[in-house]
Structure 1
Amino acid sequence: MGFEPHVGPGTGGKWYEISRRNARSVQTTVGWIFWDPGALARYEQLGLESVLAGPIGYIASRGAPFAPAGPDALIAAFGSISPAGIRFTFDLLKGPDGFRAFWDARDEAIEEGLRRHAPGIVDPLCEIGPALWSVVDQLPLLGRTLFGATLSMPRPDSPLLSGWHAVNLLREWRGDTHWALVAAAGLTSSEISILHNEWLCYEDDWLSKSRGHTGEEIDEGWESLTHKGLAADRRVLPEGLRLRQRIEDLTDERTALPWQLLGEHAAHEFAQRFEPPCELLLSRVDETAGVRYQPASRQRARYEDGTGA
């Protein structure tokens, strides 16, 4: 059973649904590592205190391709992650070599962790890797800065790790697209975190706090959302939730291209083969971080009206 890239004949509702469905497995294949004890232990060996291993390890390992550009560029690329945390990471690591050490440590933990916690994903990743790299090489760079920076990193020799990195590039391409839509909607990092939190039906300001936003930044977000008519009395109004859902719908619609390039049959096969092991990886996140972490992997209903999802 293999994966062959193929340009799909057209667009439409089926591609939106494929994009929406596979985005969850893409996110889960990648995201579990940022809270995994195997990665965090390696970050501590690089000199981080245990309390910093999670947040700083995330910034350092994911942000390594952007390290030469400096903190402001990474703040712009990351979207919702605390600017103060990113600046602190740059001050701590003192240059691209420090970031690259975390990139390499994460890669070691990925190989080990996938084989241990989701062995069913190993063969699919090894088999789909070449086809996904063919897709990645055809994706437009314009406006996709984190994708472009990550694309410049060396491609691993290991088939398993190579497949994982190809999936990671799909994730970064989608993320860049999403943040372009957020910016086009005129929303700030703090504002979109607040909208996203209530769209997920999470407790008050949980998502903002988890991404390192300060109380002052959260207050400013609520104030500006209120001024825009999207919130009142520190609650998001239906207009705000509809806007958040619209951004999600547009993200799914405008990130269908990788699956069209892969081809309909292989895109459906990706869903079938990746979803079962990804459920194991999501359970791993539940254990290592908590059930609210990695929200892009969580199932939720579409927001349709003012009553909530």
Structure 2
Amino acid sequence: MENVARRLKDLFVPIHEVAYMSDEPTEELQALGYEGFWPLYFASRSAPLGRVPAEVVDALFYNFAPGEVAACIPSVWEVATPDAVLAARQRGCVAALRGILGELADSPVIARAAELATRAAYHAPIEGRLLYAGLRSLPIPEEPLPRLWHAATLLREHRGDGHLTALVAAGINGQESHVLQALYWDMKPRDFGRLDPLTDDQLDAVVDGLRLRGLVDGEGWFTPAGRKLRVEIEELTDRLAAPAYTCLEPHEVEELVTGLGPMVAKINAARPF
């Protein structure tokens, strides 16, 4: 089931990420009064949690630089309520998917994929998955395309919650996780956008900490131990995501892969980068 979790991740994550990659969700949230990317992001992603303090969002989102979350939470709730934000995000994401998919959006393939994805999304274990639990408390959309986007979002955040568990177990903090991801993609950490908020001195301190643990070499690249740890974190993430899919028969997994493949190809082709 670990391989199933990895295969389906590559299908569900792009469906969810229209929330951040498409104009329509941004426009719906701007209509509520939000300006700038990060207030939209923090409001829309944390809305299933309700009006929780910045410390809670910081803990659950895990890898933002000091002060980034507090710059937006809780002030985003002076603009609109969590319920209004959730409704706007769903409207925008469904509109984006319709624009990308055209006639495919209302096809029987989408309806079947929504059925299977929703079954998996609500079969996933809830223990220790706080962001997933918040999403799971929301009503299930009735129409197939909104239901598919909602299920994809549940599965993405369920996997994300598990990924944080894997990072904590490995002793890797939020900024260290960005450095490991950059190196995994053969990028220098300073070229990895999510590390932009750190000063050069702060970033050097993060890399030095990894070097002292034998995970990064003198040139700032992975040691064998560092690469091994990064692979182990991803493998544990797969194992923790896998129980969601045990409710699906092998032929249903293949049906999802076959059905969602053309849809995700269209989504990926429409991504701005």
Q: 2:184 aligns with which of 177, 196, 199?
A: 199
Using the TM superposition, give the Cα deviation of residue 201 of structure 1 relative to its aligned residue in structure 2, in angstroms: 1.8
Counterparts of residues 1-309 of structure 1 (less than 5 Å):
15-49=1-35, 52=36, 54-94=37-77, 97-119=80-102, 120=104, 122-123=106-107, 124-207=109-192, 209-210=193-194, 213-215=197-199, 217-233=202-218, 234-285=220-271, 287=272, 290=273
Using the TM superposition, give the Cα deviation of residue 142 of structure 1 relative to its aligned residue in structure 2, in angstroms: 1.2
- The answer (yes or no) to whether the contact 1:178–1:251 under 8 Å persists in 2 is yes
- The answer (yes or no) to whether the contact 1:190–1:213 under 8 Å persists in 2 is no
Letter in structure 2 aligned against 1:21: R
Task: Tell me, in whole angstroms, the C-alpha distance in 2 between the residues paired with 1:121 and 1:43.
Answer: 23
Once the two structures are aligned, what percentage of the paired residues are identical? 23
Letter in structure 1 aligned against 2:205: E
String of CA shifts for 1:154-196, please: whole Å, max 9, x gaps: 2223332122111211111111111101100001000011001
TM superposition score normalised by structure 2? 0.89
Q: Runs of at least 4 residues of structure 1 off by over 6 A?
A: none
- The answer (yes or no) to whether the contact 1:128–1:163 under 8 Å persists in 2 is yes
Task: Tell me, in whole angstroms, the C-alpha distance in 1 between the residues paired with 2:172 and 2:42.
Answer: 22
Task: Tell me, in whole angstroms, the C-alpha distance in 1 between the residues paired with 2:262 and 2:50.
Answer: 35
Task: Tell me, in whole angstroms, the C-alpha distance in 2 between the residues paired with 1:78 and 1:212.
Answer: 17
Using the TM superposition, give the Cα deviation of residue 217 of structure 1 relative to its aligned residue in structure 2, in angstroms: 4.3
- The answer (yes or no) to whether the contact 2:216–2:223 under 8 Å persists in 1 is yes
Q: Which deviates more from structure 2 when the two are superposed, residues 167-176 or residues 126-135? A: 126-135
String of CA shifts for 1:229-287, please: whole Å, max 9, x gaps: 111343332321221111112222332222221221111111111122212212222x2
Cα 1:134/1:204, change in 2 over 3 Å: closer
Letter in structure 2 aligned against 1:137: Y
Using the TM superposition, give the Cα deviation of residue 220 of structure 1 relative to its aligned residue in structure 2, in angstroms: 2.9
TM superposition score normalised by structure 1? 0.79
Secondary structure in 2 matching 1:231: coil
Cα 1:45/1:83, change in 2 over 3 Å: farther
What's the RMSD between the two structures over aligned residues? 2.2
Task: Tell me, in whole angstroms, the C-alpha distance in 1 between the residues paired with 2:151 and 2:263.
Answer: 17
Structure 1 unpaired stretches of 5+? 1-14, 291-309
Secondary structure in 1 matching 2:210: helix
| Residues matched between the structures, number | 269
Secondary structure in 2 matching 1:205: helix
Q: Which residue of 2 aligns with 1:305?
A: none
Task: Tell me, in whole angstroms, the C-alpha distance in 1 between the residues paired with 2:181 and 2:11.
Answer: 20
Task: Tell me, in whole angstroms, the C-alpha distance in 2 between the residues paired with 1:140 and 1:72.
Answer: 25
Secondary structure in 2 matching 1:87: coil
Cα 1:247/1:85, change in 2 over 3 Å: same
- The answer (yes or no) to whether the contact 1:32–1:284 under 8 Å persists in 2 is no
